[in-house]
Structure 1
Amino acid sequence: MRLSTWKRSFVSSVAAAGIVVGTLAGASGTAAAAPADTKSAAATKIAPQAVQNLGLSVRQAKGIQRRHQEVGYNPGAIDGQLGTGSWKAIQRALRDHHGYAGAIDGIVGPNTIRALQRSLKANNWGYTGAIDGIAGPGTRAAFARWANWCVDRYNY
Structure 2
Amino acid sequence: MRSNALTRTVVSLTAVVGLAAGTVAAAGTSFAAPHQATKPAASVQDVSVLAVNNLGLTTTQAGYVQCWLQDFWGYTGAIDGQLGTNSWKAMQRNLKQHWGYNDSIDGIVGKNTISALQRSMKAHQGYDGAIDGIAGPKTKAAFKRFAADSKQYC
Give matches, 1:72-111, under 5 Å.
72-111=73-112
Q: Give the equivalent residue in structure 2 for 1:154.
A: 153
**Which consecutive residues of structure 1, in runs of 5 or more, have no partner in the other structure?**
1-18
Aligned to 1:116: 117
**d(CA) in 2 for partners of 1:113, 1:107:** 10
Deviations 1:1-43 (A, max 9, x none): xxxxxxxxxxxxxxxxxx97x92xx43xxxx8363xx8xx33x
TM-score by length of structure 2 reads 0.71
1:77 is displaced (CA, Å) by: 1.5
Map 1:1-150 to 2 at 5 A: 23=32, 26-27=33-34, 33=36, 35=38, 41-42=40-41, 44=42, 47=47, 49-123=50-124, 125-150=125-150
1:148: Cα distance to partner? 0.8
Instruction: Give distance in 2, aligned partners of 1:139 and 1:70.
Output: 23
2:137 maps to a residue whose letter is P
TM-score between the two structures when normalised by the length of structure 1: 0.70
Cα gap change, 1:119 to 1:47, in 2 (>3 Å): closer
Q: Equivalents in 1 of 2:51, 2:60: separation in Å? A: 18
Distance 1:61 1:94 in 2: 17
Moved over 3 A (4+): 45-48
1:79 alignment partner AA: D
Q: Distance in 2 between matches of 1:72 and 1:92?
A: 7
Per-residue Cα deviation, 1:91-131 (whole angstroms, up to 9, x for no partner): 011001111001111111100000000001112x0101110
Count of residue correspondences = 123
Consecutive unaligned residues in structure 2, runs of 5 or more: 1-27
Over the matched positions of the two proteins, sequence identity in percent amounts to: 53
Partner in structure 2 of residue 7 of structure 1? none
